[in-house]
Amino acid sequence: MIGQRIKRLRQQKGYSITELGKLADVSKSYLSQLERGLQTNPSLQFLIKVSKPLETNLDYLLEDSQVKKLGDFELDDEWKVLIRQAIADGLNKEDFKEFRNYIEFQKWMKDQQNT
């Protein structure tokens, strides 16, 4: 979980939640909620801010997160880049679901034409 990774790195650096919040310019209450698992889906911007004082990268923070847990396979580097670009461009989960539904509809239409 991302929050656990952030907490582990914060403690290794010897930062309190307040200190990390100030260094990263993020809300210490949100940081606390994330570390305790009350929040589980931080924004990309939040992760970028937190990664700098923790001297880590997004790959490490996102490792083993919900993004990577996709059954029996892992995302390769190209998928990770595409997902990060989509998020940075403002694509949200609902947009992605809608796009998937559209693709499934297109496949269904093609199957209907072939039968």
Q: Domain total for the chain?
A: 1
Say how far apart CA 98 and CA 16 lie, in whole Å: 41
CB of 21 closer than 8 Å to CB of 27: yes
What pLDDT score was predicted for residue 77?
78
Residue 76: give the domain boundaries: 2-114
> What is the pLDDT averaged over residues 61-84?
66
CB of 10 closer than 8 Å to CB of 17: yes
User: How much is the pTM?
Assistant: 0.56
* pLDDT band at 68; cut points 50, 70, 90: very low
CATH of residue 44's domain is: 1.10.260.40
CB of 58 closer than 8 Å to CB of 51: yes
Phi then psi dihedrals of residue 17, to 5 deg? -60, -40
What pLDDT score was predicted for residue 1?
79
What pLDDT score was predicted for residue 69?
45
Q: Of 73, 76, 77, 44, which Cα lies nearest the Cα of 61?
A: 44
CB of 98 closer than 8 Å to CB of 40: no
> At residue 41, does pLDDT exceed 90?
no
